[in-house]
Amino acid sequence: MQLITPLHFAEYELIDCGGFEKLERFGKHITCRPEPQALWDKALPQKEWDKLQHVKFVAVSSSSGKWNKTKEMPDQWFINYPFQHIDNSKKKISLRLGLTSFKHVGVFPEQAVNWDFIYNSVKKLKTENPKVLNLFAYTGASSLAACAAGADVTHLDSIKQVVTWARQNMETSNLDNIRWMVEDALTFVKREVKRGNKYNGIILDPPAFGHGPNGENWKLEDMMNDMLKNVKQILLDEDCFLVLNTYSLGFSSLLIENLMDSIFGKSSDREFGEIYLKSTTNYNLPLGVFSRFCK
């Protein structure tokens, strides 16, 4: 089992976390927002948090809230991420951030470790213009990583506004030719199985709960086994890679390892473990479990 964290994300910083909150810098702007995994006390005093933050998220209901600005800042801004390349190129992506009513800002910075893995996995593939499918793709950083490395990318999410956001990220990153799909992920994968379509790479970052565009239900623990069985049928046996990331309280890396072993067979080449962010105050904040391979 591995513990991995981004090390080269200059425009992001987890300053402190605790008291069920996290204090983060995205570019020039510092946000305070809820974090259910931060059970411990804050390292910095509350007055320091209040002094540093530009904006704080305040929950209004279980699913939405509002941002209270304490300093002047825009509602939308951009940050860049330069990939850590095996080919020593200098590719980077630009991501638009925004203050949404559901506490997110448009990027999950801990996933930078997977962006690098995706970029480098595509570079390792022997297939010219390899096909990559990104499921539950959100605002598209993983799609951009695959596209920047030369893949033919299909980006799928169930929310039209999020797909539009991802398209804007593609354009600001000076990339193109990503195929956009507003679709229920499991429905799409099962249809691809029937069509006999195959991919060199598949990326999954499913939520704990969700809904498709036509009201389809998604519940991680009930449906992940079925999803992976279908994913296996559309992933090529060789010259391929897969990235699975989950963020759900109670989901362990051992659970993910058992799922992957049962469907793909045991493999010494497969990585699994936990992704975390290290705060400037030296807390390690767990933010998901993963499994991935490239062969």
- DSSP letter for each residue of 135-182: ES-TT-HHHHHHHHTT-EEEEEES-HHHHHHHHHHHHHTT---PEEEE
d(CA 80, CA 141): 11
**Residue among 81, 136, 143 at smallest CA distance from 118:** 143
Q: Is the pLDDT of residue 250 over 90?
A: no
pLDDT in tens, 168-213: 999 999 999 999 999 999 999 999 999 999 999 999 999 887 888 8
Measuring CA to CA, which residue among 207, 221, 226 is closest to residue 135? Answer: 207
**φ, ψ of residue 97 in degrees (nearest 5):** -105, 155
Domain boundaries, position 197: 2-294
Is pLDDT at 281 greater than 90 in this prediction? yes
Instruction: Look over the chain and give the mean of its residue pLDDT values, rounded to a whole number.
Output: 94
Predicted local distance difference test score (pLDDT) of residue 286 = 95
CA distance 146 to 132: 7
Closest CA to 60 of 101, 109, 118, 105: 101
**Per-residue pLDDT reduced to its tens digit, 24-78:** 999 999 999 999 999 999 999 999 999 999 999 999 987 789 999 999 999 999 9
Distance from the first to the final alpha carbon of the chain: 19
Angle, helices 220-234 vs 185-195, to 10°: value is 30
Residue 214: the pLDDT is 81
pLDDT exceeds cutoff 80 at 89 = no
What is the DSSP-derived secondary structure letter of residue 280? Answer: T
Cα pseudo-dihedral 191, 196, 198, 202, rounded to 10: 20
- Looking at residue 268, which CATH number applies to its domain? 3.40.50.150
243 pLDDT band, cuts 50/70/90, is: very high
Asked whether the predicted pLDDT for residue 90 surpasses 80, the reply is no
Q: Which residues, other chains included, contact 144 with Cβ-Cβ below 8 Å and sequence gap of 6+?
A: 93, 115, 169, 170, 173, 175
- Tally of structural domains, the chain: 1
Q: Name the nearest CA neighbour of 205 among 103, 277, 113, 95.
A: 113
What is d(CA 8, CA 119) in angstroms, rounded to the nearest whole number?
15
Cα diameter, the chain: 59
For the cut 90, the answer to whether the pLDDT of residue 217 exceeds it is no
